[in-house]
Amino acid sequence: MNGNPNRHHAAAPHGEAGAWLRKQRHYWQITQAELAEQIGIGEVALIDAIEQGEVAMPEFLRDAVALAFSIHRDDMARYCDEWYGREAAKAA
């Protein structure tokens, strides 16, 4: 993890989803590296970029993230639709 709490800001394009992921990870008391391993990716940088709101959570990770945090996959899909649907509306 980058360690700079000021790096994330409200203007980040995917900030809402990133803040949610960070909050879940902290609730479950796991590091970015542990989450990356648990969801089957070797890229801590991807977890960090999602949390910083720099990139959207890729669709191929959504089910794994839901499983990691004991969230039903339909709920995870709804959350992503809400986050990324709002972002698309703002961009229009």
Cβ atoms < 10 Å from Cβ of 10? 8
Determine, yes or no, domain membership for 6. Answer: no
The whole-number pLDDT of residue 90 equals 52
Residue 33: predicted pLDDT: 97
Token reading at 88: 């698309």
pLDDT for res 43: 84
Q: pLDDT by residue (tens digit) across 18-67?
A: 999 999 999 999 999 999 999 999 889 999 999 999 999 998 999 999 99
pLDDT for the residue 91:
53
Residue 80 to residue 73: CA distance in whole angstroms: 11
pLDDT at 78 exceeding the cut of 90: yes
Range of the domain at 67: 15-91
- Residue 84: its pLDDT value, please? 86
Structural domains counted in the chain: 1
Q: Which residue type is seen at 82?
A: E
CATH classification of the domain holding 53: 1.10.260.40
